[in-house]
Structure formats: C-alpha cells, structure tokens
C-alpha cells in the first residue's frame, strides 16, 4: 500500500497529491510522515530553476537515498530542514534525497503552484508569503 500526502495552498484551489517512496527510502519517508501535518510557507529557488521549498522542523540524520531530480520529485533536504518540490527545468545536476513523486495528473497544478510562488516571492519584489499545508491523504 502506497502512502500519500497532499500539498495544498490554503484559500486557493491548488493542491497536489504525492505518493511516498516507502520502499525506496524508508527512513526519510518516516521522518516526513512523523512531522505531519506541516503548516508552513513556500519559498522559491532563485538560481537552480523550477523548484519550491517548505521550511520544516524535521531533523533527519539517518540514511538518505540519492536520486536524480526530475519534474515531480519531492525531496527532503535534511541540512536545511526543508521539503522541496521540482516543478520545472533545473540548472543543477545534484542528486536529491527523494521521498515522493507528485502524481502525473497533478503536474500541471504543481506548475501553477510554482508560478504562484515565483510571482509572490521573486517577480513581484514584494516577497509575499504563500502558505502551505502538507497532510496525510486517506485513500
């Protein structure tokens, strides 16, 4: 059985479902799962391309599973205590600690979330917060 989480932007119709990679990366997925629900705000990468990130309180010093990042990758970056989502092209080739994948049917919505965060944090020059909730999905 695949566990899933929903990443949603409150007060909008924007939400994506992420299938967790329990069998591939059990320790990192468990660290994320224990932290649910997460209420935070979204930030946007500046140099590395189409990526958004969520500051968390997750401390994960256990095993990580390096994988090549692709559109739809969700990863836990322990040193900065963030969960990040890749929605577009990226300009760096670093491997990431992937914990989940955004469902194929939600990739367009993920792009819309990324564009909203880009506008709110970088393009507008105003640095407005974009709230986010990451929560368990009951199937």
Q: Record the pTM.
A: 0.94
Q: What is the CATH number of the domain that holds 46?
A: 2.40.100.20
Phi-psi region of 88 (alpha: psi -120 to 50; beta: other; left: phi over 0): beta
The whole domain housing 26 covers: 4-136
The three-point CA angle 70-76-81 to 5° equals 140
User: Domains in the chain: how many in total?
Assistant: 1
Kind plus residue range of the DSSP H or E element containing 85: strand 82-90
Nearest Cα to 35, choosing from 133, 131, 102, 129? 133
Please say whether the beta carbons of 24 and 73 come within 8 A. no
Q: What is the pLDDT of residues 61-114, one digit of tens each?
A: 889 999 999 999 999 998 899 999 999 998 888 889 999 999 999 999 999 999
pLDDT surpasses 70 at 139 = no
Provide, rounded to the nearest whole percent, the portion of the chain with pLDDT above 70. 99
- Rounded distance between C-alpha atoms, residue 5 and residue 7, angstroms: 7
């Amino acid at each position: 059985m695949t566990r899933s989480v929903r990443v949603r932007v409150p007060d909008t119709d924007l939400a994506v479902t992420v299938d967790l990679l329990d069998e591939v990366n059990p320790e990192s997925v468990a660290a994320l799962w224990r932290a649910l629900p997460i209420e935070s705000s979204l930030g946007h990468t500046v140099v590395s391309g189409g990526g958004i990130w969520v500051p968390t309180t997750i401390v994960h010093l256990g095993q990580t599973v390096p994988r090549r990042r692709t559109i739809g990758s969700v990863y836990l970056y322990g040193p900065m205590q963030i969960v990040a989502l890749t929605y577009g092209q990226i300009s760096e080739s670093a491997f990431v600690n992937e914990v989940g994948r955004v469902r194929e049917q939600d990739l367009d919505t993920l792009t819309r979330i990324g564009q909203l965060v880009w506008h709110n944090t970088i393009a507008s020059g105003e640095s407005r917060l974009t709230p986010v909730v990451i929560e368990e999905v009951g199937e």
